[in-house]
């Protein structure tokens, strides 16, 4: 693990509003300086040899995930205009990555990353570490026809939903949504309570019916779900819009009401409370007025992960969701943390090169990541209990040369516990 004597997160500060990093495009080629802005971030260069676990990771697996991101990077444009320096600098790296042989040795894969990228530690400006949660793709039983057993619908995007585009760089599930009344007035779209009470009923919008409304609630939070039909077919559903209402983490409500201690909040403890208190649980879920609509992801194969914000199937254990207002999809991050992977205790070393391919409304900050853990109950159990701090190393393209900047006065430190505003109190509550 990193020690405070080696890393002072206030030495290199990104000065722009709160911070910004000066970088040089085309280092050594005489290219003009540009400013890469990243609020509330502190960075410091580090050598690969000082990254715990770097030399023993599976870089071939990381490279395979990175290469998937290269298609959208080379074919598309950045989320903002003009494009950010990282996005521009990733293009030549992607061209090189896609020219590599399909079968590559572990040493060659590691050398690819070491030659193409410069590692820098990154942390919030007022803390030495970042924050990690986990998410997954649920799998439940369901039916394309309603019954007494399968009575909870999952809806497709309604044709009368008028969804405004989110502010550039913010998650897709933010922004307003409206419907038009008979007298041509625009009003906010139905909230969760109205939809659960039947506002969309009998309009032919039901994609599938499942057993448990709690599964439907958490499927919306995860953004995807696998529904196993009676004939054995698996229906893959992915996020396709939202109702524009504010997202409220119900874990935070349970803490505020004194029902759960903050350090005990997880998907499992929230689900247990709702199951044990059905009336209170239904009222609790309705406090989250946000509602998500789905589409059938027919392009996905049985072995593919859920589709992330980069429009690619995610890779379990290699894909992460990041703050897309700050980071570019396709950026590699090396994560060093102790996580509750094998038990409820955070004792499993997690030192792995991850690729940013997704985002989420609760994923906010320069060193904040949601780890995609795969499909099913086991992945869900692990995802629900990950709420740990960890060290982040961002791999910057070598065309971007970090420059030193003077450090401001040391700001007050927050406790190293859960940041309820950023994390939503659970990886399950994205």
Q: How far apart are CA 50 and CA 66, in angstroms?
A: 23
Q: What is the 3-state secondary structure (H, E, C) of 94-151?
A: HHHHHHCCCCCCHHHHHHHHHHHEEEEEEEECCCCCEEEEEEEECEEEEECCCCCCCC
Q: How far apart are CA 87 and CA 305, in angstroms?
A: 24
Q: β-pairing, 224-228 with 139-143?
A: parallel
Among 228, 262, 296, the domain-final residue is 296
Q: Is residue 428 part of a domain?
A: no
Do 169 and 119 share a structural domain? no
Do 118 and 16 share a structural domain? yes
For residue 306, what are the contacts with CB-CB under 8 A and spacing of at least 6?
A: 137, 222, 223, 224, 238, 313, 314, 372, 375
Do 276 and 139 share a structural domain? yes
Domain, as residue range, for 347 = 12-134+316-374+383-423
Q: Is residue 58 part of a domain?
A: yes
Give the per-residue pLDDT at 187.
Answer: 96
Do 264 and 172 share a structural domain? yes
Do 273 and 174 share a structural domain? yes
Secondary element (H or E) of residue 48: none
Q: How far apart are CA 134 and CA 379, in angstroms?
A: 9
For residue 403, what are the contacts with CB-CB under 8 A and spacing of at least 6?
A: 21, 22, 23, 24
In this structure, the chain runs to a length of 430
Do 146 and 125 share a structural domain? no
Among 262, 296, 330, the domain-final residue is 296
Q: How far is CA 361 from the centre of its chain?
A: 8
Do 335 and 204 share a structural domain? no
Q: Is residue 7 part of a domain?
A: no
Q: How far is CA 318 from the centre of its chain?
A: 12
Q: How far apart are CA 106 and CA 143, in angstroms?
A: 45
Give the per-residue pLDDT at 412.
Answer: 38
Burial 253-269 (b: 16+ CB within 10 A, else e): bbbeeebbeeeebbbbb
Q: Is residue 310 part of a domain?
A: no
CATH code: domain of residue 221: 2.40.240.50
Do 234 and 107 share a structural domain? no
**How many domains does the chain contain in total?**
2
Are residues 267 and 426 in contact, defined by beta-carbon separation less than 8 angstroms? yes
Question: Which CA distances in Å does 311 have to 76, 78, 79, 306, 319?
Answer: 12, 14, 13, 9, 12
Helices and strands in the chain, H and E counts: 10, 20
Do 242 and 105 share a structural domain? no
Are residues 344 and 405 in contact, defined by beta-carbon separation less than 8 angstroms? no
Mean pLDDT (10-residue bins), the chain, 430 residues: 38 34 35 54 93 98 98 93 93 97 95 96 93 95 97 97 65 75 93 97 96 95 92 93 92 95 87 95 96 93 87 96 95 98 93 96 92 94 93 94 43 34 36
Q: How far apart are CA 304 and CA 205, in angstroms?
A: 26
CATH code: domain of residue 338: 2.40.40.10
In terms of phi and psi (left: phi > 0; alpha: psi -120 to 50; beta: otherwise), the region of 344 is alpha
User: Tokens 């499909």 label which residue?
Assistant: 375
Q: Is residue 301 part of a domain?
A: no
Do 152 and 103 share a structural domain? no
Q: What's the half-sphere exposure (Cβ side, CA atoms, 13 Å) at 181?
A: 6
Q: How far apart are CA 124 and CA 104, in angstroms?
A: 36
Tokens in use for 390? 């960890």
Instruction: Pick the closest to residue 385 from 416, 419, 342, 351 (CA basis).
Output: 342
Instruction: Pick the closest to residue 271 from 218, 196, 342 (CA basis).
Output: 218
Q: Is residue 51 part of a domain?
A: yes
User: Tokens 């032919």 label which residue?
Assistant: 204
Q: Is residue 3 part of a domain?
A: no
For residue 188, what are the contacts with CB-CB under 8 A and spacing of at least 6?
A: 176, 177, 178, 179, 244, 245
Tokens in use for 57? 């990771």
Do 286 and 190 share a structural domain? yes
Q: What is the DSSP letter of 90?
A: H
Q: Is residue 303 part of a domain?
A: no
Do 130 and 141 share a structural domain? no
Strands of 182-291 (E only): list them. 186-188, 206-210, 224-228, 234-242
Find the radius of gyration of the CA atoms of the chain.
22
Q: How far apart are CA 14 and CA 396, in angstroms?
A: 14
Instruction: Pick the closest to residue 166 from 383, 359, 409 (CA basis).
Output: 359
Burial 393-416 (b: 16+ CB within 10 A, else e): bbbbbebbbbeebeeeeeeeeeee
């Amino acid at each position: 693990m990193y020690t405070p004597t080696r890393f002072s997160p206030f030495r290199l500060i990104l000065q722009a509003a709160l911070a910004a990093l000066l970088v040089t495009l085309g280092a050594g080629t005489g290219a003009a300086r540009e400013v890469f802005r990243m609020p509330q971030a502190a960075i410091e260069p580090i050598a690969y040899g000082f990254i715990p676990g770097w030399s023993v990771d599976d870089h071939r697996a990381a490279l395979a995930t990175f290469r998937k991101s290269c298609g959208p990077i080379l074919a598309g444009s950045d989320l903002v205009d003009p494009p950010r320096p990282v996005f521009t600098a990733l293009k030549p790296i992607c061209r090189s990555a896609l020219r590599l042989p399909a079968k590559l040795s572990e040493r060659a894969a590691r050398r690819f990353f070491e030659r193409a990228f410069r590692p820098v530690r990154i942390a919030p400006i007022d803390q030495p570490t970042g924050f990690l949660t986990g998410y997954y793709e649920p799998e439940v039983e369901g039916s394309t026809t309603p019954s007494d057993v399968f009575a909870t619908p999952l809806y497709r995007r309604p044709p009368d939903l008028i969804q405004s585009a989110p502010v550039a760089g913010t998650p897709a599930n933010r922004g307003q949504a409206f419907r038009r009344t008979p007298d041509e007035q625009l009003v906010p779209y139905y909230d969760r309570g109205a939809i659960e009470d039947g506002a969309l009923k009998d309009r032919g919008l039901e994609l599938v019916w499942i057993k448990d409304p709690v599964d439907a609630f958490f499927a919306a939070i995860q953004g995807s779900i696998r529904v196993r039909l009676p004939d054995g077919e698996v229906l893959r559903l992915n996020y396709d819009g939202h109702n524009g209402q504010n997202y409220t983490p119900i874990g935070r409500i349970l803490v505020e009401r004194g029902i759960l201690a903050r350090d005990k909040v997880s998907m499992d403890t929230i689900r247990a409370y709702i199951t044990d208190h059905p009336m209170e649980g239904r009222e609790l879920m309705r406090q989250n007025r946000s509602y998500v609509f789905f589409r059938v992801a027919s392009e996905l194969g049985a072995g593919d992960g859920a589709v992330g914000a980069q429009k690619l199937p995610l890779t379990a254990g290699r894909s992460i969701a990041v703050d897309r207002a700050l980071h570019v999809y396709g950026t590699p991050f090396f994560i060093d943390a102790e996580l509750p992977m094998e038990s409820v205790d955070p004792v499993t070393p997690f030192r792995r090169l991850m690729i940013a391919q997704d985002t989420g409304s609760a994923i906010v900050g320069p060193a904040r990541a949601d780890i995609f853990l795969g499909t099913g109950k086991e992945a869900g159990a692990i995802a629900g209990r990950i709420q740990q701090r960890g060290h982040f190393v961002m791999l910057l393209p070598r065309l971007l040369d970090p420059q030193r900047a003077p450090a401001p006065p040391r700001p007050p430190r927050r406790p190293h516990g859960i940041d309820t505003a950023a994390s939503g109190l659970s990886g399950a509550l994205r």
